[in-house]
Amino acid sequence: MPVGLVDSTIFLLPLPKLIGRMDTKLITDKIVAAALDVGFSACGVTDTQPLNEQGKHLQNWLRLGYNGTMKYMENNLDKRLNPSLLAEASKSAIVVLLNYKPERTIATDKPQVSKYAYGTDYHFVVKNKLNRLLRRIQTEIADCRGVAYVDSAPVLEKALAVKAGLGWIGKNSLLINKQFGSMTFIGTLFVDIPLCYNTHIVPDGCGNCRRCMDACPTQAIVAPRVIDASRCVSYLNKTHRGTVPEDLQTLVGNRIWGCDCCIDVCPYNKQTPVHNTQELMPRDELFELDLAAISKRQLKKLIMRLPPRNQSGTGS
């Protein structure tokens, strides 16, 4: 069966011949190296055991109604809290980060679009790279089957990234990586082979800093690592259905897609390198068009741009 790219991105390939008898440490090292080689910024590996601690936090967050109208967050809690239920026979989670910090940004006096949306829809970019990584593993490293997810399934990606040693959760609830800050996309590849799992959890690096909390225009960060999504600008101008509450309309300001306030003030994002992923390079349209004059539907179509037809995911 040829490689397929569907919503759940299930890859089922004929199992290649195992290349020698390598121990799990060597296999894991080769997988991490392959992930970096296909273009990811960082990679870590963890198990698929239940996320019990994160489960308590999620259930309390839902109980307080902080998910707003995102009722889908209340579904499939068993799978969110137990990654092994997402993919049959999955034993390991290969977690990757892809830096998206751009070299140039939209002038502050112009309608603002969140930096993550400057290039091609990241779902496609990250999935294509995970596609390549899985093929590399299957053909060069070890027999396995895999399932890849990029923000498209009930996966607690940030929790898995922390377990994989890729960073800690900042007070704005985003994953912070020491080298790349919080401007990263997270992708997860579940495989059915045992690997060598991370044992070092990166300590909290936020300390007494509360710049992100103070910078939030709508005070959506109600406590460290607790976001009231119903007040978050990114939720209000992207996800919320209906009219934005009057008391929040003026606070949204000129942000028409997403919000980067808590990201921009984070000290860990100041000295991080800009990305070099061609598919994520800023599009001139976002800098040249009168974004304030286009409808939300037109804007969504522009933001969620598909890869060019000739882009097969073979580029890094």
- DSSP, residue by residue, 190-253: EESS--PPP--PPPP--TT--HHHHH-TT--EEETTEE-GGG-HHHHTTT--SPPPHHHHHHHT
Encoded tokens for 284? 């001139």
- 10's enclosing H/E stretch is strand 10-11
Q: How far is CA 257 from the centre of its chain?
A: 17
Which two three-digit tokens encode residue 245?
A: 């509450």
Question: Which residues are CB-contacts of 85 (< 8 A; sequence separation ≥ 6)?
Answer: 78, 79
Distance of alpha carbon 231 from alpha carbon 262, whole angstroms: 14
CA–CA distance, 90 with 192 (Å, rounded to integer): 4
The Cβ of residue 278 has, within 10 Å, a number of other Cβ atoms equal to: 13
What gap in Å lies between CA 242 and CA 229, rounded to an integer? Answer: 15
C-alpha–C-alpha distance, residues 185 and 264, integer Å:
16
How many Å apart are CA 98 and CA 188, to the nearest integer?
11
User: Is 260 tagged catalytic?
Assistant: no
d(Cα 209, Cα 58) in Å, to the nearest integer? 24
- CA–CA distances in Å: residue 131 to residues 13, 194, 296: 11, 20, 32
Catalytic residue, chosen from 29, 143, 151, 192, is 151
Beta bridge partners of 148: 189
Residues annotated catalytic, as ranges: 151
